[in-house]
Structures are given as C-alpha cells and as structure tokens.
Amino acid sequence: MLNDTIAAIATPLGEGGLAVVRVSGPRALAVGDQCFRPLGRGSHKPSAAPTHTVQYGQVLLGQQVVDEVLALVLRAPRSFTREDTVEFCCHGGLLAARSALEAVLGGGARLAEPGEFTKRAFLNGRIDLAQAEAVADVIRARTELALAAANEQLAGKLSQRVRELRNDLLHTLAHVEAHIDFPEEDIAPDTRAQLLERLERAGEAMRRLLATAREGQLLRQGLRAAIIGRPNVGKSSLLNQLLGHDRAIVSPIPGTTRDTIAETANIRGLPVVLIDTAGLRDSSDALEQEGMRRSRATVTGAELILHVLDSACPFSAEDQRYLDECAARPRIVVLNKCDLEPRLELPAGTAGPRVAVSCRTGQGIEALKDKIKELAWAGEIRAEMIEVTINSRHQDALRRAQEATDRTRAALSGDLSLELVAVDLRMAVDAVGEIVGQTATEDLLDAIFSQFCVGK
C-alpha cells in the first residue's frame, strides 16, 4: 500500500474560509500535474516546482475549473509522510473541497484510509508509534494541560525514556545470551549481581512510567463526574454554573431533566465530563422512568459523584437514599442555595467533603472547582509532571514487561537455566518495544490508526 498515492480532505467538512486537500505518495507530483493549472508567469506545475514552495492556479475536474487554489509542494523526504506531497488550499465549503478531492482522485490517487498519512509517517521512520498516538492526542486535546502533555509526547519525551529502558534490557539480554553461547564460562557472582542490579533499575523505571497512567487517562479522556440528587435541588443549575453557560433547562417543575446531559468543562486545566442526571423519584411517566434508569447507569460508570442537596430544605428520606447508594463512591456533597436560610442538617458521619454553593449567585462555585481538581489530581500540577504520561496501551505493555522482568530476576537469583532467563528477558524487551512500534504487529497498527480521522 505504500506504493499507492493517497488523497483526502485534511480539514473538517462544512463551511469555512479554507479547506485543504492533501495528496501523498510516489505519484503525488504527477497527480498534481493532472489536475492543477498554474496561473501567472511565476507559477509552475507541481513536478516543476521547487520543494516547499506555493504555486497559484486552478484545480480542474476534466476541463472544468473547480476552484482557485494555492498548491503547496513538499518533496520527499521533507514532508510529514517523508513522501512527495502536494496540498491544495481551496475555498472552504463542502462542495468546493469535495470537487477538488474528486479532481485529485481522477488524477490517479486513491482515497486515504483513516490515519493513513500518520501511519506512513510512522512506517517511513519520521515518527515512532508513541509520537503517532500523540498526533491524535493533540487533535483531541480539550484543555491547555492536555495539549501540553500531547506536545511533550509528540516531541519524543516518552519515546526517549522507553528507548533508554529497552536498550538497558537489550544489553542485559546480550550478556545473558553470550553466556549461553559459551556455557563453559559460568557467570561470576559479581557479574550476576551487576545484572540483577540492572534489572532492578529497569523495574524501577517501569514503575515510574506506570505511575503516570492515571494522569495520562485524566488528561486524555477527562474525569467523569455525575451530578445527582433528588428533583429540584439545583442539579441542572450547577451544571450551567460549572460550564459557564446555560446548557440544561432549569425549571421549578419536578422531572424537567428526563435524560442525561453530558458536557466537558475545563476545571483548573483538567477536562471534566459533567453529567446532569434525572432526579430519582416515584413516577408513572415512562419517559421520566427511562431517564432515571439512565441516571443509575451513569452513576455506576462515574469516577466522581457531585451529590447536590438543598440546604434551604430539611433533610429528607430521598436525600438519605442517595447518601446510602453512593456511600462508598468518591464524592463531594454540594450544599446548594447557601444564600438562603439554612434548614438542612446532615446525618453524623456523612462521608465526603462538603462545599456550600449558590447556583443563583455563583457563590462557592470556585471553591467547588478547587475541590474537584484536588480530588482528581492531588497537589500542584507542575510542568515536569506532564512530560511523560502513558496511555492504556502503554500501560498494558509496561505491565507485561514488568512481569517478565520480575520473572527474569527470580530466575537469575535462583540460579536457573540461562535459557529460561533469556526467554523472559526477550519478552520484556518485545513488550517495551511495542510502545514505540519497534515490535508492533500489523493488527496493532491497524487498531491504532483506525481511530484517526480521515485526512490525518
């Protein structure tokens, strides 16, 4: 497939000022020649243009002018894919971009698969697999911290640590295999001690990387926080306050919220997925019952509970039911309507921190944001803390590597056969190599790049 020349619209579909159609592959310049007509004495066909230049002209579909465009010519290997690349910058709009793409496909390119441009950048050695995943993280970043973490990975900070770890394991493996090749020379006690020390260092490096998994998941996927409470305590109002705009309908009529509403808020730099739920109560309304069923399912999958109580009303049996159902879950008890005369008395021993707010005036909302951030990410978020943050795929590979390394240490300490030591050590090397793609399978690559958008 690397012999194919591929093309796709690299910008979101819809109305806009500009759209970009990207072409990459061995025949990218020839395809560009087929559908591009230069205008003016200073413009050239892509095949005649110097690298990293912009040519002015028109895209043609047959003999029909599709659009007035700028053509960016990037010759291999100085492009994102390390292949010849032509990018046509045309007017934004669904029809203009699709017509330009149709002209390019008619010139001999085929439509790119999801993530195929980035996959080629990986296969051609421009980036490793961890950096390729960071491209998707940059696109999907929803907060400044998430973007900063993705850019650190794209710059190779994680890859550098993984390569150092893999090299240490490879050196140890080479030492063990040398003794397998020359069995008459037993490993000296001091040499065995050095190998065990090197394996201990490798294990510690894996533990440090694994410790970043939660932070990585939080920055990439966000924290899921369910807003719960009985009807009319101010759940939807709290959602609107935390978002900074009106998203949910607020009404004094019980049962207004009949479905879960999920929106992502930037809370102290962290993406928090806030889910407004329907209040639980006895109701014969089929739609409201379905909303309550979804509410219970949402609470089950949430990582944080924001339990809203009306501080201007006496404590009720419904409030107690909510407290009991979420007693073992991480939660914040939000005492709403603190601008009114307090009439609520919580039972002694109620678990979870308490924050008093007024969704009408905004009082206490900033304190609530501080508490959410504190529970999600303990302590100050420093720049060095987001330099290396692994994702779930990295976590799985490192766990397998750690288990294999532990077995290697046990076998070497127990004076077992060096062949057994080498087998486990090779498994550790391969598992670590998966992170940067040095031992990746085609199925793994397909699974990763299929999650990308077309055009990237």
Tell me the per-residue pLDDT of 79-134, one tens digit each, with 9 for 90 and over: 999 999 999 999 988 899 999 999 999 999 999 999 999 999 999 999 999 999 99
Which residue among 325, 355, 376 closes a domain? 376
Token pair recorded at residue 283: 């109701």
274 plus 298 within the same structural domain: yes
**Backbone φ/ψ region at 68: left (φ over 0), alpha (ψ -120 to 50), beta:** beta
Q: What is the CATH number of the domain that holds 137?
A: 1.20.120.430
Q: Is 118 among the domain residues?
A: no
Whether 331 and 227 share a structural domain: yes
Q: What is the mean pLDDT of residues 64-70?
A: 94
CB atoms near residue 74 (< 10 Å): 23
Residues 228 and 372 in one domain: yes
Model pLDDT, residue 188: 67
Q: Which residues pair with 306 in a beta bridge?
A: 227, 332
pLDDT band with cut points at 50, 70 and 90 for residue 232:
confident
Confidence category of residue 420, pLDDT binned at 50, 70, 90: confident
Domain-embedded: residue 409: yes
Pair (85, 135) in one structural domain: no
Higher pLDDT pick, 299 / 10: 10
User: What total number of domains does the chain contain?
Assistant: 3
Question: Do 361 and 233 share a structural domain?
Answer: yes
Confidence of residue 384 (pLDDT cuts 50, 70, 90): low
pLDDT tens per residue across span 405-414: 999 999 888 8
Same domain assignment for residues 197 and 247: no
Separation between Cα atoms, residue 36 and residue 345, nearest integer Å: 75
Residue 138 lies in a domain: yes
- Judgement on whether residues 38 and 102 belong to the same structural domain of the protein: yes
Average pLDDT over residues 243-272: 68
* Average pLDDT of the residues of the chain: 86
What are the distances in angstroms from CA 237 to CA 39, 251, 436?
A: 58, 9, 45
Same domain, 42 and 61: yes
- Whether 366 and 272 map to the same domain: the answer is yes
In a domain, 117, yes or no: no
**Both 261 and 201 in a single domain?**
no
Last residue of a domain, one of 376, 408, 430: 376
pLDDT, tens only, 428-443: 999 999 999 988 788 8
Of 182 and 14, which is predicted with more confidence? 14
- Sign (positive or negative) of CA dihedral 124, 126, 128, 134: negative
* Residue 338 shares a structural domain with residue 253: yes
Give per-residue pLDDT as tens, 29-50. 999 999 999 998 889 999 999 9
Q: What is the CATH number of the domain that holds 266?
A: 3.40.50.300
**Which pLDDT score is estimated for 308?**
92
- Provide the pLDDT confidence category of residue 325 given band limits of 50, 70 and 90: confident
Question: What is the pLDDT at residue 78?
Answer: 95
pLDDT digits (tens, 9 = 90+) for 164-216: 999 999 999 988 888 777 665 566 666 778 888 999 999 999 999 998 888 88
pLDDT at residue 218, as a whole number: 85
Would the pLDDT of 72 be above 80? yes
Using CB atoms within 10 A of its CB, is residue 261 exposed (0-12), middle (13-18) or buried (19+)? Answer: middle
Q: For position 254, what pLDDT does the model report?
A: 47
Kindly indicate the confidence band of residue 385, based on its pLDDT and cuts at 50, 70 and 90.
Answer: low
Identity of residue 36: F
Task: Read off the CATH number of the domain in which 38 is found.
Answer: 3.30.1360.120
* Span 273-306, pLDDT tens digits: 888 876 555 555 555 556 566 666 667 778 888 9
pLDDT (tens digit per residue) in 360-376: 899 999 999 999 988 88
In a domain, 456, yes or no: no
CA distance 436 to 444: 12
**CA–CA separation, 142 vs 165, rounded Å?**
31
What per-residue confidence (pLDDT) applies to 405? Answer: 95
Which of 353, 376, 399 terminates a domain? The answer is 376
Domain extent, residue 277, equals 223-376
- Pull the structure tokens for residue 290: 């379905």
Residue 65, domain member (yes or no): yes
Give mean pLDDT, residues 5-10: 95
217 located within any domain: no
381 within some domain: no
Query: Do residue 276 and residue 322 come from a single domain?
Result: yes
Which residues, in sequence order, are bridge partners of residue 36?
A: 59
